[in-house]
Amino acid sequence: MLRELAEGFGAVKVKKADKMYEITKILLKNEGNPVIIEDVDGYGVLGNLYSSRKNIAEWFGVPENKLLEIIWKAIRRGRKPVNGEFRLRKMNFSLTELPIPKFYPRDGGNYFTSSVVIAERNGKRNLSYHRIMVLDGERGAIRLVERDLYKMWKDAVEHGEELKVAVCVGLEPTFALAAATSVEWERDESDIASAMRLLAKNEREKIATTPFGIKVPANVEMVFEARITEDAVEREGPFVDITGTYDVQKNQPIIVFESMYAVNNFLFHVVLPAGYEHKNLMGMPREAAIYGRIKDAGIDVKDVKLTPGGSSWLHAVISIKKRKEEDACIAIQKAFEAHRSLKHAVVVDDDIDVSNLEEVEWAIATRFQAKLDMVMKEERGSSLDPSRFSGNLTTKVGIDATKPLGRDYDFKKAKFVDFDSLMKILKENLPEHEMRSSDPYRVLVATVISHRTKDEVTYEVAERVFEKYPDIYSLAEADEEELASLIYPAGFYRQKAKKLKNIAKIIVEEYGGNIPESMDELLKLPGIGRKTANIIISRSFGRDAIAVDTHVHRISNRLGIVETRTPEETEKALKKVLPRRHWRDFNVTMVLFGRYICRPISPKCDECPIRDMCMRIGV
């Protein structure tokens, strides 16, 4: 099972390795890439399996930035898995003969690191990761922090019993991530895995009953039947944990392995301590929890990243679309609530990529003032942070690196706009404009009809008008009622009919039927403004002019090439920034762009071909 998955992820193949340090060396060299080592003491080993988020996202069939949403929805919803078949074969084993690595020189021993322990007791089921240090052929010391499995084991001990468990090694992404979530006592992480699968692949997870009675994922590589003993304890550790530092030695319970079941030619899954895979598996469910908690507070959270430099555990960068000044502060508070080990949280605007630490640092440098924007408090933090105070107390810091609302121009990073490329890209990516004619009569009529009317309606209506009134003379003689009925369903059709007839009469009577060519003369016509005049001048008479309608005004401001309040101001400003060679085409190009991509509401920034040149002011 795992072989096929790893090969699908483009696994690197290595022939042979020693389980003493050599596996670490190979996995470190191939960080971000799955590695299959064919022969470690005669067994296959698989490492770095989930070290690339891109691979995980591909398996789920979603873009990387949608993974958090899937995990969060799955945590929230949960779905019962269905029953599957237990297909693993019982095999003889000795822990000391299996390819269980020793990773670092000071490690207390050889370690299981991908081991998900499943326990069922008094109607409660629990799946969670626990490292296990091999003591001999059948015993290990299991690290139990004071969470669900620990409580189940304590309960068993108080009743004079041992806790029977299944130790699973080698899980698919759903169970691998679900086992790392931290949810309420009554929840079964299998339901979260099942909900993830349902969201990603429209099918439920299958779980199968082992011969020793505990239900495990049906698609697992290996399962051990084991029991956590009553009171025997052994020194466990030191061991390199997610921070890359050695975790301290502690007395831990002994787990006794009784039987082993596996697929034929199994691959033993190892997770490199503090490697990308370790960080992804531990970090992603916490990112989803932070994301969900902030979303539940009514804040438009866009992305969350537990940064690799913060060991994917202690530092979070959160991007939000700020609607109120207090949003960032609330997001900080919710992040600390959702992930108790979190030490530093930085909240940025959604123009900052949370995975790009240079951008994050830039936001802190330019949008943050410690006196105003910092939250600091002392609370219980991570036991994995070597700088913590006694009692796991730590100083938590929240940084609001968002810009003040309404001050985009002062706080957004300037973008270089190459107008030649911008116009070329847009022309290549947009359909042809419906208005192909440059005849001044047609341009004038269509432009008057287009006021407050959708483009599709404008050109359909204009064609009807041209059929009945092919020139300015026939329009001057038009029956106003009939003209209005042709213009309908365009908005203000009565006023437009009146205006067109009036303009046509003036042109026939005062200009001999010729549409004036100059701005001054065009503006003398009733109801003709600068936009219409500029369109006629540029399109019909081939002179350089910039016609500014709502699309041109809005998009120019969003791009950040002008900072204006009215179309008139925009026209003036554009004349200063836009190379003259683009004046004539600018209107038509922006009209189409504004219709299909940079729409007035919900612009499609994700698919925008000129996103790299846009400051996204006010978006």
Catalytic residues: 241
Query: Could you report how far apart the first and last alpha carbons of the chain are, in Å?
Result: 46
- Which residue in 443, 444, 449 sits closest to 488, CA to CA? 449
Residue 121 backbone phi and psi in degrees, to 5 = -155, 130
Segment contacting ligand SF4 by CB under 6 A, of 380-388, 418-426, 454-462, 599-607: 599-607
Q: Taking CB under 6 A as the rule, does residue 605 contact ligand SF4?
A: yes
Q: 3-state class of 610 per DSSP?
A: coil
Segment contacting ligand SF4 by CB under 6 A, of 196-204, 362-370, 443-451, 609-617: 609-617
Segment contacting ligand SF4 by CB under 6 A, of 49-57, 102-110, 442-450, 608-616: 608-616
Q: Cβ 587 to ligand SF4, closest distance in Å?
A: 16
Segment contacting ligand SF4 by CB under 6 A, of 8-16, 342-350, 401-409, 600-608: 600-608
CB of 173 or CB of 603, closer to ligand SF4: 603
Residue 226 backbone phi and psi in degrees, to 5 = -150, 170
CB of 144 or CB of 598, closer to ligand SF4: 598
Q: Cβ 612 to ligand SF4, closest distance in Å?
A: 9
CB of 330 or CB of 605, closer to ligand SF4: 605
For the record, the structure tokens of 568 come out as 């008139």
Q: Taking CB under 6 A as the rule, does residue 616 contact ligand SF4?
A: yes
Q: Cβ 529 to ligand SF4, closest distance in Å?
A: 25
What is the crossing angle of helices 583-596 and 419-429, to 10°?
50
- The owner of tokens 């003259």 is 580
Q: Taking CB under 6 A as the rule, does residue 260 contact ligand SF4?
A: no
Query: What 8-state DSSP symbol labels residue 479?
Result: -
Q: Cβ 561 to ligand SF4, closest distance in Å?
A: 10
Q: Cβ 577 to ligand SF4, closest distance in Å?
A: 15
Q: Taking CB under 6 A as the rule, does residue 462 contact ligand SF4?
A: no
Q: Taking CB under 6 A as the rule, does residue 176 contact ligand SF4?
A: no
Amino acid symbol at 302? K
Q: Contact, 222 vs 265, CB < 8 A?
A: no
Neighbour-count burial of 581, counting CB atoms closer than 10 A to its CB (0-12 exposed, 13-18 middle, 19+ buried): exposed
Q: Cβ 611 to ligand SF4, closest distance in Å?
A: 4
Within positions 558 to 597, which residues make up the interface with ligand SF4, using CB under 6 A?
558-559, 597
Tell me how many residues contact ligand SF4 (CB under 6 A): 14
Q: Cβ 97 to ligand SF4, closest distance in Å?
A: 59
Between CA 332 and CA 313 the distance in angstroms is 15
Query: What 8-state DSSP symbol labels residue 350?
Result: T
Q: Cβ 554 to ligand SF4, closest distance in Å?
A: 9
Distances (CA, A) of 287 to 197, 229, 257: 19, 34, 34
- Which residue in 104, 193, 537, 425 sits closest to 528, CA to CA? 537
Q: Taking CB under 6 A as the rule, does residue 603 contact ligand SF4?
A: yes
Q: Contact, 225 vs 257, CB < 8 A?
A: yes
Residue 338 backbone phi and psi in degrees, to 5 = -75, -30
Between CA 350 and CA 311 the distance in angstroms is 23
Strand order from edge to edge, sheet including 43-47:
12-16, 35-40, 43-47, 267-270
Neighbour-count burial of 542, counting CB atoms closer than 10 A to its CB (0-12 exposed, 13-18 middle, 19+ buried): exposed
Q: Cβ 594 to ligand SF4, closest distance in Å?
A: 8
Q: Taking CB under 6 A as the rule, does residue 352 contact ligand SF4?
A: no
Query: Beta strands 132-134 and 215-217: pairing type?
Result: unpaired
Segment contacting ligand SF4 by CB under 6 A, of 112-120, 208-216, 495-503, 552-560: 552-560
Q: Taking CB under 6 A as the rule, does residue 610 contact ligand SF4?
A: yes
Q: Taking CB under 6 A as the rule, does residue 412 contact ligand SF4?
A: no
Amino acid symbol at 164? K
CB of 402 or CB of 556, closer to ligand SF4: 556
Per-residue x/- track, 509-548, ligand SF4 (CB under 6 A): ----------------------------------------
Within positions 152 to 171, which residues make up the interface with ligand SF4, using CB under 6 A?
none
Query: What 8-state DSSP symbol labels residue 425?
Result: H
Distances (CA, A) of 86 to 114, 178, 209: 20, 20, 6
Q: Taking CB under 6 A as the rule, does residue 430 contact ligand SF4?
A: no
CB of 62 or CB of 619, closer to ligand SF4: 619
CB of 140 or CB of 560, closer to ligand SF4: 560
For the record, the structure tokens of 410 come out as 């002062």
Q: Taking CB under 6 A as the rule, does residue 425 contact ligand SF4?
A: no
The binding site for ligand SF4 (CB under 6 A) comprises: 555, 558-559, 597-598, 603-605, 608, 610-611, 614, 616, 619
